[in-house]
Structure formats: structure tokens, C-alpha cells
Amino acid sequence: MNNTEQADSENNLTNSEKHQKKNYAIAIAIGLLVIWVIVRPGVFTIKPNRTLPEGMTIVYTTRSPGIPLFSSPEGLCLAIEGDVTSTCRETALAAAKDLDDRTLLKLPYSSWAYLQSTGGLEFDE
């Protein structure tokens, strides 16, 4: 085999390896998408308050239809009532207890996740 034939053979192997890696990446992406659809995760953020001074971010599974990926008591009140009242906030916080059996992770308060849930608005307690 001369040098040209050897270089062509190495290039073909490299192209084949690249094609195989691309196929693996596509398969992994499809697998992750399928898992995402099955699990339907959600992120519920509770802003620091009197009962939970540090706040909390909960990543949970089987998000209900109509509930956004990022939610919070204030975000739910805005979506349902168009305003945030203490009664609505308390009701939404009570509903968060239903997430206990579906919780994947409990994380510290995330301001970014909270702002995603409220459309960038901050609310006082």
C-alpha cells in the first residue's frame, strides 16, 4: 500500500468514527427527550418567608398539564387570578405539599427560577 492509499484509508476510518459519534449523540438526545416527556419535570420555587426563611426550590416529576415548567405560589396566583394576594399565596403554598410524593430534589432558593415563574416580577411577602 502506498502513502496515498494509506492516507485515504485513515481518512475513511476517521469519517466513519465521526459518523458513529454523531449517531450516538443523536440517540442520546432522543433518549433524553423521551425521558423528559415521560417524567415531565417541573420546578417549584418558594421565596424566603416567615415559615421558610431560606426559601426552597423543588424539582418534581409528573407536572400537571397547564402548569408551567417553572412555577411558584406567586406565579400561579398571577396565572389564575392575575394578581398576588395573601390568600392565593397561602392556597398555592398548601398545594405545594402535594409535591412531596413527586419530589426529585430539594434545592436552596433560586432567584432565577423564581423570576422565571413570575415573568421577571418580584413580590414582597
Same domain, 69 and 102: yes
Same domain, 5 and 63: no
Q: Is the CA virtual torsion 28, 34, 38, 43 positive or negative?
A: positive
Same domain, 53 and 113: yes
Within 13 Å of residue 1, how many CA atoms lie on the same side as its CB?
A: 8
Same domain, 88 and 113: yes
- Which pLDDT belongs to residue 21? 85
pTM of the full predicted structure? 0.71
Cell, residue 29: 438526545
What residues make up the domain containing 16? 1-39
Using one digit for the tens of pLDDT, what is the confidence trace for 50-107?
888 999 999 998 888 888 899 999 999 999 899 999 999 999 888 888 888 999 999 9
Same domain, 55 and 112: yes
DSSP state of 64: P
Using one digit for the tens of pLDDT, what is the confidence trace for 2-51?
555 554 555 556 777 888 888 899 999 999 888 877 778 899 999 998 88
- Measured between alpha carbons, how far is residue 61 from residues 32, 49, 79, 99, 100 in Å? 15, 25, 21, 8, 10
Same domain, 100 and 54: yes
Q: Identify whether 124 is part of a domain.
A: no
**Residue 4 neighbours by CB under 8 Å, 6+ apart:** none
Q: Work out how many domains the chain is built from and give that number.
A: 2
